[in-house]
Amino acid sequence: MIQRVPFETAKSTELVNVTDFVRQVVKDSGVQEGLCIVYSPHTTAGMTLNSSSDPATAEDILAEFDHLVPVRATHRHTLDTPADAAGHVKLVLVGNAVHVPIQGGELLLGKSQSVLFFEFDGPRDREIQVQILRQT
Amino acid sequence: MGRTGEPGHLRRQVLSKPALLREFTGKFDRMTRETLDHTTSLEVKRVYAYGCGDSHNAAVTTRMAFHKWADVPMEAQTSLEFARYGTPWLKTARPKKALSIGISVSGEVARTVEGLALSKEAGAYTLAITCNRASRAAKLADMTLDVTVPEMDIPRVRTYLATQIALYQVALRLAEVRGVISYKDGRTIRDQFDRAADIGEATHQANGETVRQLAQSIKDKPGYLFLGGGPNLGSAMFSAAKILEAEGSIAQPQDLEEWVHLQRFLKKTGMPTFLIAPPGLSYTRAVEVARVIKQVQAYLVAIVEEGEQEISAIADVTLPVKGHLPEEFTPLVYSDACEMFASDLADATGEPYFRDFAGPWATPDGDPIWFNELLAERDQLSLQDYSGKPVAPNA
**Distance between CA atoms of residues A107 and A59, nearest Å:** 25
Query: Would you call B191 an interface residue with chain A, using a CB distance cutoff of 8 Å?
Result: no
pLDDT at B387: 36
Q: Give the pLDDT of residue B169.
A: 98
Q: How far apart (Å, rounded) are the C-alpha atoms in residues B116 and B35?
A: 17
Alpha-carbon gap, residue B105 to B55, rounded angstroms: 8
Candidate from B37, B176, B183 with C-beta closest to A122 = B183
* Closest by Cβ to B42, choosing from A73, A84, A124: A73
A115 bridge partner residues = A49
Helix, strand and coil content of chain A, in percent to the nearest 5, comes to: 30, 35, 35
**Does pTM top 0.95 for this prediction?**
no
Judge whether B27 is closer than 8 Å to chain A, CB to CB.
Answer: no
pLDDT tens profile B80-107: 999 999 998 887 655 568 999 999 999 9
The b/e string for A60-95 (b: 16+ C-beta within 10 A; e otherwise) is ebbeebeeebebeeebeebebbbbbbbbbbbbeebe
CB B108 within 8 A of CB B177: no
Rounded CA-CA distance B19/B158 in Å is 10
Give residue B360's pLDDT.
83
Percent of chain A whose predicted confidence (pLDDT) is above 90 = 96
Instruction: Name the minimum distance, in Å, from the CA of B69 to any CA of chain A.
Output: 15
Q: What is the interface pTM, i.e. ipTM, of the complex?
A: 0.80
Torsion of CA B236, B343, B272, B250, to 10 degrees: 80
Q: Across the interface, which of B30, B177, B184 has its CB nearest the CB of A123?
A: B184
More confidently predicted of A24 and B395? A24
| pLDDT tens digits for range B328-379 | 999 999 999 999 999 999 999 999 888 888 888 887 776 776 666 666 655 4
Mean pLDDT, chain B, whole residue set: 91
The pLDDT of residue B9: 84
